[in-house]
């Protein structure tokens, strides 16, 4: 039996709440998903963690029938350090309640708690005659600095925002620790690392028509390069996951990609030391779930001839790619065609800046700006999009 008095002599004395004739036998707090007593969330106003209150109330005759369930709506969490109740959706607290935290009563897509290294799934608790209510705790606003909380539970018969001394959770499960981490800033360039994940040939030659003098198939090559961008918060063991999309700031591409590119470039330059022209076309595409990527370009020289025409769409990524959905990384596919012919020249047209939209499974939704290099192809996060 739980009590709420520090007096050892009162350990076996039932606690009655004023005229309500209610005895608190059990009132304790835990995380239903973990045996840990401490956890973390991100302070972005969306990420929430389930916090469970287990309770058993008796009437003056030590009868539990209907008492606990009838009082469920009067159970609240509170911030132990400041002794203030935490509001939840659909309730009202009289007085000065906690202004940092808020609780939902239903799980949603942003429900995800972060537990310690010793995290283990909590075994089912003994539920005999014990009722429970689960709150999904989040921040009221966005946090830019880390903050620590201890969450307890209390019975507020009159919806009072300040817990009394004899109506709060106590014992080994009196409270749980909650660390609120600052919201993730995906627009911070220094937090991103870019690596090249792969390169493959684009099979153009079976669908290619060349027009012009001294123009050979070997003069035209196509490459598909996969770039991976990973944020410092997205380590291998994190449960954080991203869904990534392009803002479609570009509606077309000279390479006629089936998915609009986030950036593109075209230019002619002299190959170093060879005194020969090389023309490059590039398109950077952010793959979307369930969409493959094809190209079917028609590439005329500046003066109309010579030219390269691809007669049928050529696949560079299949529909089942699985990139940029429920992932730890941003993937960008660079489609590149190079033409080596001294008679083939074009005007330089570079649109190298684009916007990528990131949504994660803890409620962040941010637009980031990406700049793609026309020289080495690398996409780089530069700030807010």
- Tell me the pLDDT band of 119, cut-offs 50, 70 and 90: low
pLDDT tens digits, residue range 345-367? Answer: 999 999 999 999 999 999 999 99
Please tell me the predicted confidence (pLDDT) of residue 103.
97
Percent of the chain with pLDDT over 90: 71
Tokens 């007669």 correspond to 311
pLDDT tens digits, residue range 188-217? Answer: 999 999 999 999 999 998 889 999 877 888
- Tell me the pLDDT band of 4, cut-offs 50, 70 and 90: very low
**Per mean pLDDT, which range of 5-9, 103-107, 257-261 is the poorest?**
5-9
Strand order in the sheet with 22-30: 22-30, 49-59, 131-139, 101-104
Is residue 1's pLDDT more than 50?
Answer: no
Other CB atoms within a 10 A radius of the CB of residue 144 amount to 9
Higher confidence at residue 303 or residue 183?
183
Distance of CA 22 to the CA centre of its chain: 44
Is residue 289's pLDDT more than 50?
Answer: yes
Q: What is residue 248's DSSP assignment?
A: -
Please tell me the predicted confidence (pLDDT) of residue 120.
59
Percent of the chain with pLDDT over 70: 89
Other CB atoms within a 10 A radius of the CB of residue 293 amount to 24
- Among 319, 337, 182, 202, which Cα is nearest to 264's? 337
pLDDT tens digits, residue range 224-233? Answer: 999 999 999 9
Mean pLDDT, rounded, for 123-130:
66
Q: Residues 18, 149, 3, CA angle at the centre, nearest 5°?
A: 30
Please tell me the predicted confidence (pLDDT) of residue 12.
37
Averaged pLDDT score across all residues of the chain: 89
Cα atoms in the 13 Å half-sphere on the side-chain side of 155: 30
Q: With a threshold of 0.75, does the pTM exceed it?
A: yes
What does the CA dihedral 334, 271, 339, 300 come to, rounded to 10 degrees? Answer: 100
Tokens 């050892």 correspond to 8
DSSP-H helix ranges across the chain: 67-70
Please tell me the predicted confidence (pLDDT) of residue 19.
41
Euclidean distance between CA atoms 261 and 354, whole angstroms: 9
Euclidean distance between CA atoms 26 and 8, whole angstroms: 18
Euclidean distance between CA atoms 248 and 251, whole angstroms: 6
Euclidean distance between CA atoms 74 and 61, whole angstroms: 21
Please tell me the predicted confidence (pLDDT) of residue 335.
98
Mean pLDDT, rounded, for 239-268:
88
What does the CA dihedral 68, 72, 77, 82 come to, rounded to 10 degrees? Answer: -80
- Tell me the pLDDT band of 8, cut-offs 50, 70 and 90: very low
Strands (E), 131-262: 131-139, 147-155, 176-182, 192-201, 208-211, 220-231, 242-246
Is residue 262's pLDDT more than 50?
Answer: yes
- Tell me the pLDDT band of 248, cut-offs 50, 70 and 90: low
């Amino acid at each position: 039996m739980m009590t709420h008095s520090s007096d050892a002599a009162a350990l076996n004395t039932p606690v009655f709440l004023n005229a309500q004739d209610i005895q608190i036998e059990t009132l304790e707090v835990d995380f239903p998903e973990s045996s840990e007593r401490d956890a973390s969330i991100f302070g972005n106003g969306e990420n929430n963690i389930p916090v469970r209150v287990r309770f058993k109330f008796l009437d003056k005759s030590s009868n539990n029938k209907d008492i606990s369930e009838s009082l469920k709506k009067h159970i609240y969490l509170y911030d132990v350090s400041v002794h203030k109740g935490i509001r939840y959706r659909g309730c009202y607290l009289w007085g000065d309640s906690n202004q940092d935290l808020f609780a939902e009563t239903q799980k949603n897509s942003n429900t995800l708690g972060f537990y310690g290294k010793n995290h283990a799934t909590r075994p089912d608790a003994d539920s005999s005659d014990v009722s429970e209510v689960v709150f999904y705790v989040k921040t009221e606003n966005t946090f830019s600095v880390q903050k620590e909380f201890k969450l307890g539970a209390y019975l507020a018969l009159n919806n009072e925002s300040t817990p009394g001394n004899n109506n709060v959770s106590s014992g080994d499960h009196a409270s749980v620790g909650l660390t609120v981490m600052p919201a993730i800033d995906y627009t911070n360039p220094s937090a991103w690392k870019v690596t090249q994940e792969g390169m493959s040939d684009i099979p153009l030659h079976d669908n290619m028509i060349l027009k012009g003098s001294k123009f050979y198939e070997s003069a035209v090559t196509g490459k598909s390069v996969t770039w991976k961008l990973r944020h410092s918060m997205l380590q291998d063991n994190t449960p954080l996951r991203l869904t990534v999309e392009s803002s479609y700031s570009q509606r077309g591409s000279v390479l006629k990609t089936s998915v609009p590119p986030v950036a593109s470039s075209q230019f002619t330059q002299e190959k170093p030391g060879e005194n020969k022209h090389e023309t490059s076309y590039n398109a950077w595409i952010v793959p979307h779930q369930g969409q493959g990527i094809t190209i079917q370009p028609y590439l005329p020289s500046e003066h109309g001839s010579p030219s390269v025409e691809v007669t049928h769409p050529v696949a560079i990524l299949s529909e089942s790619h699985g990139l940029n959905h429920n992932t730890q990384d941003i993937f960008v596919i660079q489609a590149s065609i190079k033409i080596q012919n001294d008679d083939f020249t074009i005007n330089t047209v570079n649109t190298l800046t684009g916007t990528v939209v990131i949504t994660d499974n803890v409620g962040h939704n941010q637009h980031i700006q990406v700049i793609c290099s026309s020289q080495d192809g690398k996409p780089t996060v530069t700030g807010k999009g």
